[in-house]
Structure 1
Amino acid sequence: MKTLAVSTRTICGIEELPQHGEAGVTHVLSILDPGHPELSAFGAYGEHRRTTLHFHDIIDPLPGQIMPAPEHVDAILRFGAEIDAEAEAGASGHLLVHCHMGVSRSTAAMLTLMALGDAEAGEAELFERLRQIRPRAWPNSVMVAMADERLGRNGRLVDELRRHYALQITAAPHIAGWMRELRRGREVEMGLSA
């Protein structure tokens, strides 16, 4: 079994970044809204490698907003491949992936990286690992669909995403209303139909 060359995985939102400054983070994937100012929290981090992507957390086109696109998922996959290429034998890195809230874009990106790093893992196992890292995960469905295609998962990641949404709605029913307010009702319906 191949796994991404990190021993610790963290998902968080911007407000949580300061509490990870002394956690030995070696790799950071930042996903920010376009035009968001540079983050000062990383000044307190030790030496680390950081990649930043800029797009909005939407699943349908909206005026003035940038949808997640294949090139963003490709950049996430390159980031994962670079982590493995840089790793020394026995290295124990700490990967931190964040977006604004640590709920959607970052969880979709971490799922993508875990699926890349462990091609033998089943989809249910990958989502279980994701929930262990970030219990409130609600991965962006557009990003997951693109990752599914890029990784040759033949729709299995998307199928498991439906079950994941159903679990999240059952565990925290208020999330359905919140997602609908955020124009993510299509994802809620995915969960309700699972």
Structure 2
Amino acid sequence: MTLIVCGLAEVPGLIAARAPSHVITLLDAASMIPTPDGLSPDRHLKLSVNDIAEPTEGLILPSDDLVRRLLAFGRTWDETAPMIVHCWAGISRSSASAFVLACDRNPSVDERAIALTMRQAAKHAYPNRRIVALADDVLGRRGRMVEAVEAMGDYEYSGVGVPFDFAVRY
């Protein structure tokens, strides 16, 4: 089944058009949204986090706990309907989270193949390096997830992310 990676502005339209069973929201605390209408609160994971990779005063750094919550929630998804993973722009926090979920579902698949599939799907994807590094450690990937997102190369940023589908099974 499919993960739909997008920015906040696209969420209402994608919910109406694609009827996801689960939604993951990665936003700073001040921007956090309520659970969308028609979605059960237990199917909406709200993660308060800023898009940073190094500690910055006044901002929420991705943490080990955030990654563990992301993985636990992802494991509740039965893949019968899509899952939306979104942040503010659909570029960094959401693409990192989608990559983490795909790696978790595919423990024997080369992480680089998963990352390069993301690059093909979205030239603008730039997975948050801290989220990836934390997940790499939690999943025991020995640096392969970090190396994989680095192998994606440069990204093309035009000022806004574009929603994209990302397979969760390889």
TM-score range, shorter chain: 0.7 to 0.9
Task: Find the counterpart in structure 2 of residue 152 from structure 1.
Answer: 140
The answer to whether the aligner puts 1:98 opposite 2:93 as a matched pair is no
When Rg is computed on C-alpha atoms for both structures, the one with the higher figure is 1
Task: Find the counterpart in structure 1 of residue 126 from structure 2.
Answer: 138
What is the deviation of 1:35?
2.1
TM-score (norm 1): 0.73
Task: Find the counterpart in structure 2 of residue 60 from structure 1.
Answer: 54
List, as ranges, runs of 4+ consecutive aligned residues in structure 1 with deviation greater than 3 Å.
45-48, 132-135
CA root-mean-square deviation: 2.1
Structure 1 or 2: more helix by fraction: 1
Task: Find the counterpart in structure 1 of residue 31 from structure 2.
Answer: 36
Gaps of 5+ in 1: 1-6, 179-194
What is the deviation of 1:82?
1.7
Q: Equivalent residue of 2:54, what SS?
A: coil
Task: Find the counterpart in structure 1 of residue 96 from structure 2.
Answer: 108
The higher-RCO structure (CA 8 Å, 6+ apart) is 2
Partners of 1:129 and 1:167 in 2: CA distance: 14
The alignment-based identity, stated in percent, is 29
What is the deviation of 1:56?
0.7
TM-score (norm 2): 0.83
CA deviations on 1:91-121 (whole Å, 9 max, x unpaired) are 6221110000110001111111000011111
Partners of 2:94 and 2:6 in 1: CA distance: 8
Partners of 1:144 and 1:162 in 2: CA distance: 10
Partners of 2:32 and 2:133 in 1: CA distance: 29
- Conserved? CA contact 1:11–1:133, under 8 Å: no
